[in-house]
Amino acid sequence: MTTWNFSSGPAILPRSVVEKAAAAVLDFKGSGIGVLECSHRSKIYEPVVASAQARLRKLMGISDDYGVIFVQGGASQQFAQVPMNLLAATDMADYTDTGTWASKAIKEAKLFGKINVVASTKEEDGTYRSLPGMLLLTPGSKYLHITSNNTIFGTQWHEFPAAKVPLVADMSSDICSRVVDVSKFGVIYAGAQKNLGPSGVTVVIVRKDLLGKTDRQIPTMLDYRTHIENGSMFNTPPAFGIFVLDLVLEWMEEQGGVEGIQKLNDAKAAKLYAEIDRNPLFKGTVDVDVRSRMNVCFVTEKKEHEELFMKLGKSRGFVDFNGHRSVGGFRASIYNAMPEAGVDAMIEAMKDLEKTHG
């Protein structure tokens, strides 16, 4: 039986990438040693970091005005590192509160500057179902922070807010899933473990002219300039993670780049939402116009069907398709590497539940 991994992250990777990575663990480029055991300064490993950077620049259309770095600490560390690098203590920044991760970003940013929450879509029960409409930004604010895709609740900005200031985006759960105009952004950051590779490596794309404007003492390892100036090789980088990232980016090129992948993602999400809307046993949980194309959240109309669908899904090889513990129901994370056949399997299971219990 095929296993369908709907995990929200760490998540499914392209099979061909996993196979290449597995082979390199045993023998990296015929060197007789595995990639896990190889010096990051060796002749065979070092080019991997530059390759991953070059591929990402090309795939996303990132100009030389930006640094592209691979660091550790996860997206969670970026919640602090962004304001630490961009804001002086007296500076202001605008934030949107659209989900659990957005609110965590706000909490950390408050340690470094004056943070204005310009919109919150938090419901009384603590969940989030929508995204803000027009935003009233604060004059003098340095940037506007958004979470481009809210992994837990399954909402996604399909159009980014128009702002005079640079956008700063946590793109952890939708980076490289759709074409984005990077020039609108001051910073884009993402933990790799959804669309780009394994956990342990975090991608940061940062407009270089925004750096060095605070009078704050920034620890060397947390200063973006350290990693930009040293090509992500100031210290031992997350070597294996970057190696797999490079393989994932190569795979993306073979899929027709971000444009090609976006078409597949749109088609996958459209057919899954169509079934959620058609099938009388299921319903979506967020406003239709902001539905995520990465994390498709839904519940059963009747509570008694929830356990039945859980059992049915497990019997069909579905893994981690339950909703986040704070939400319940179901969440099918259908990142770039999820083949359309996985979405079809989910739809078939929904149809089969309808046949037996509809």
Q: Return the active site residues.
A: 101, 170, 194
Q: Measured from the CB atom, is 164 or 325 closer to ligand PMP? A: 325
Which residue is closest to ligand PMP by CB? Answer: 74
Q: Is residue 300 within the footprint of ligand PMP (CB under 6 A)?
A: no
> Residues near 196 by Cβ (< 8 Å), separated by ≥ 6?
175, 176, 190, 203, 245, 248, 249
Distance CA 285, CA 327 (A): 10
312-328 in b/e burial notation, b at 16+ Cβ within 10 A?
bbeebebebbbbbeebe
The residue count for binding ligand PMP (CB under 6 A) is 11
Q: Is residue 173 within the footprint of ligand PMP (CB under 6 A)?
A: yes
Smallest gap from Cβ 151 to ligand PMP, in A, equals 3
Q: Is residue 170 within the footprint of ligand PMP (CB under 6 A)?
A: yes
Q: Helix, strand, coil shares of the chain as percentages rounded to 5?
A: 40, 20, 45
Smallest gap from Cβ 30 to ligand PMP, in A, equals 33
Interacting positions 217-246 with ligand PMP (CB under 6 A): none
Q: Measured from the CB atom, is 101 or 112 closer to ligand PMP? A: 101
Helix ranges, the chain (H): 15-26, 46-60, 74-86, 100-109, 224-229, 239-254, 257-278, 304-315, 340-357
Smallest gap from Cβ 355 to ligand PMP, in A, equals 35
Q: Measured from the CB atom, is 170 or 246 closer to ligand PMP? A: 170
Q: Is residue 147 within the footprint of ligand PMP (CB under 6 A)?
A: yes
Q: Which stretch binds ligand PMP (CB under 6 A): 18-26, 166-174, 217-225, 241-249?
A: 166-174
Smallest gap from Cβ 29 to ligand PMP, in A, equals 29
Distance CA 120, CA 106 (A): 11
Smallest gap from Cβ 21 to ligand PMP, in A, equals 19
Q: Measured from the CB atom, is 75 or 115 closer to ligand PMP? A: 75
Distance CA 351, CA 358 (A): 9
Interacting positions 52-111 with ligand PMP (CB under 6 A): 74-76, 101
Distance CA 257, CA 25 (A): 27
Q: Measured from the CB atom, is 9 or 14 closer to ligand PMP? A: 9
Q: Measured from the CB atom, is 96 or 172 closer to ligand PMP? A: 172
Contact 67, 206 (CB under 8 A): yes
Q: Which stretch binds ligand PMP (CB under 6 A): 11-19, 52-60, 170-178, 258-266?
A: 170-178
Q: Is residue 9 within the footprint of ligand PMP (CB under 6 A)?
A: yes
Distance CA 337, CA 303 (A): 31
Q: Which stretch binds ligand PMP (CB under 6 A): 110-118, 136-144, 168-176, 275-283?
A: 168-176
DSSP string, 257-305: HHHHHHHHHHHHHHHHHHHHHH-TTEEESS-GGGB-SSEEEEEESSTHH
Residue 220, amino acid: T
Q: Is residue 151 within the footprint of ligand PMP (CB under 6 A)?
A: yes
Q: Measured from the CB atom, is 203 or 228 closer to ligand PMP? A: 203
Smallest gap from Cβ 157 to ligand PMP, in A, equals 12
CA nearest to 174, candidates 65, 93, 266, 64 = 266
Kindly tell me which residue out of 191, 198, 329, 342 binds ligand PMP, with binding defined by CB under 6 A. 191
Smallest gap from Cβ 92 to ligand PMP, in A, equals 23
Q: Is residue 172 within the footprint of ligand PMP (CB under 6 A)?
A: yes
Scanning the structure block, which residue is given the tokens 């398709």?
Answer: 321
Q: Which long-range contacts (CB under 8 A, 24 or more apart) does 22-31 make?
A: 24/243
Local structure of residue 160 (DSSP, 8 states): P
Binding interface with ligand PMP (CB under 6 A): 9, 74-76, 101, 147, 151, 170, 172-173, 191
